[in-house]
Amino acid sequence: MDGQIPRCDHTTGCITCGDEADAMRVLEVDAESSLARCVDAAGRTGEVEIALVEPVAVGERLLVHAGTAIGRDAESTEAAA
């Protein structure tokens, strides 16, 4: 029965349910709707809510949890500036 849903990956932990967030790099920003297309270390892309960290720039690394950026990597922000 478990096969009916994707199992969370025990090697990487669960980024949606746990307290852990995932670093993602910004590829494209839609400032009007507060959304950005981002990519994670494994190359997976997704649409991320950025209202809590705006303004963001392409190339910045955001800390994304449950589809929402809750913080940013200060060092990557300095590097992107």
Binding residues for other proteins, rule: CB under 8 A, are 1-2, 4-11, 13-14, 16-21, 23, 41, 46-47, 49, 51-53, 61, 63, 65-68, 70-76
Q: Report the C-alpha gap between 31 and 57 in whole angstroms.
A: 10
Start-end of H helices in 1-81: 74-80
Q: Please tell me what DSSP assigns to residue 6.
A: P
Q: Are 56 and 72 in contact (CB under 8 A)?
A: yes
Distance CA 18, CA 3 (A): 21
